Amino acid sequence: MTMGEALSIMDNFVDPSDPDVSNENSIHAYQTAERIRKAVPNDYELQLCGLIHDVGKVLFSFGEPSWAVVGDTFAVGCEFPKSIVYYDTMRENPDYCHPLYGCKYGIYQPNCGIENLMLSFGHDEYLYRVLQKNTTHKLSQKYANIIRFHSFYPWHTGGEYKHFEIESDAEIKTNVLDFNQYDLYSKQDIEFVLTCDIKDYYAKLLNMYFPEPLCW
């Protein structure tokens, strides 16, 4: 399907994990994009990133359970940090007491780079993999990384996983935190109205950066 078709599926999805959202996810997508457009009217890729950042939630239409689609992400194969939401439930995970997976470095080497961690699966990782798999789109790697890590709160907000970081991770974190201010605060735009002009504007951007259907 095209990215536009995937976005339209969000008309039928309300995120059960987000207490700040009661509208369809497509509304949140346009709210986020519009916040970005007002702040940086010439950064078309960031606007598009805001529009599609949650499109990976199409997984729900394929019958995936909510725990495999939404919620904060965390690294697997290593110790679970206590800043994970509902950390106490992690004790039920067989990796929690595993002699390798449950220790500080787990399956990784020190300073291996955040991009080399395996993350818990969800809409972020799914859309990131779709973007990496398809080569016809024109969205830069910078924005693909924002999509991948925007729910990785234990890292970019909780200050965890520093022992895996390398120098270039600082830029990724800055980009994610910059993006998240638009993502989170867009939920306050309760009087937002999705007009035909807004939809037409982003339809043109989608056609420009995603000219071909994507393999999902």
- Per-residue pLDDT tens for 75-86? 999 999 999 988
Span 101-125, mean pLDDT? Answer: 97
Query: Exposure of 51 by Cβ count < 10 A (0-12 exposed, 13-18 middle, 19+ buried)?
Result: buried
Question: In this model, does residue 181 exceed pLDDT 90?
Answer: yes
In the prediction, which pLDDT does 12 show?
Answer: 81
The letter for the amino acid at 213 is P
Cα 38 from Cα 185, distance rounded (Å): 13
CA 12 to chain centroid: 19
In the prediction, which pLDDT does 188 show?
Answer: 65
Span 115-132, mean pLDDT? Answer: 97
In the prediction, which pLDDT does 22 show?
Answer: 63
